[in-house]
Structure 1
Amino acid sequence: MINGFKVFDADPYVNKWVSSARRVVETLDVSQRRHGRTWFVGVDALPNNTDGSIRGATLGGAWMDDLSAHPEFDGWHKAQVSIVYDGYPRQDPDESDAAHRFRVKRDAAHMDGLLPEGAVRRRHLREPHAFIVGLPLNNVPSSPLVVWPDSHRVMQTAFSKVFEGVEPCYWGDQDVTDVYQAARREVFERCERVEVSMRPGQAVLLNRHLIHGVAPWEGPNVIEGRQVAYFRPMVANVADWL
């Protein structure tokens, strides 16, 4: 993954897994949505097994061959089922104008694992992921994944400096808000914005430090929305996150 992400061609193993996952997704309660009911977040929504399999379909495909380049991870969690609907993103009543503009103009660009905490929403590294893999569940081109190639290098450099001399067990205690926001601004200045459209059977693998987001919905209404399953396993050793 020279640029921090890689899209894999359609794979029969992925197709089989997606077919099984879709049958389960059809039974989920997706009524709890954000951003004017245009996004079902779906964290831990897919009841897959600890080996990633679901309803007898093994989690597999060519993308798994690339995992040797990533840190050891702490098993397969229940996958997120992210579903974006027509009109995304609308503004929630409790969402600030600035936050909504960022979601519209900047695709809610972010790096996973930095959680906002407290009344002032300061960022801390609470979920040190090994990688992110996205598996499209249906063929809907609206609101595709957006990535900023090479942004992982900018972010890794910034966090290497902020955590220098700090024991990994204390990284989560550090307020990294200012460093994170400054590095993300640098990404917008230096890196190209790229939309990644995919169809079922394909997979996308993201570096854990890559800045990514979701484009606003464009195109006709699709009742089932644009569906993607995401796995973001944690590193087995926090020190390996950098």
Structure 2
Amino acid sequence: MTHSAHTPASLPATRSKTTLPAADTTGRARRARVEPMAVRPLRDGRYAVETDGDGETYVVDLDATTCTCPDHEIRGRRCKHLRRVALEVTARLVPPPGRRTAVCAVCGGRAFVPTTARGPALCVRHTHRPGRPVVDRETGDRLLVVAATGARADRVETDEGRLVADYPSNAEYGRHEPVFRAVYVDALRRDGPVSVYAFPASRLRPPRIEGDDGGAGADLSATADARLSAA
């Protein structure tokens, strides 16, 4: 049975007008923060900014540093709308250009993925970068991530011909979660072949304390690359 913590939830489709802390700013920088605005990403990578004072909606292009408001188009200034979008992107309140908002397959929180991405998504907290040390929640063993498959655990087969989701040891992890491939650190330190194993995303966790990775890092990552290339 899948643990409730690993069940995705829905995210609101729209946002209400909000404000940000003034942060000891003045002028346009202050107005960008304290005036109520709603920032909505558009499919083409731009942003619609709905304001409160004049009730207008303007379109901001961060890449081109443009806005359709009079302050920018007539005066050529870096307006409050441009500043507000940049602030919300930096604060991870909205996705950066070229990305869209998705639901994390592990916690149901917000994840930003490329607009063309398909399959299950993961937020920053629950993704694993290749070359990073992780720990198996079931056994406590240390591993090194070698690849992200981008495919669900109920669709990825192991070398044994079984779906990752069908292993009893993965029963408490979401069948919808993306699979990562990893090697055991101890195997890298021994002579002989190195096997690559597949795990649902939430079965792997980052090391909790310094030294929990047993020294796995850049050196072991290079060792893994060499050993796997030679296999």
> TM class by shorter-chain length?
under 0.3
Greater RCO, 1 or 2 (C-alpha within 8 Å, sep 6+)? 1
TM-score by length of 2: 0.22
Which of the pair has more CA radius of gyration? 2
More strand per residue: 2
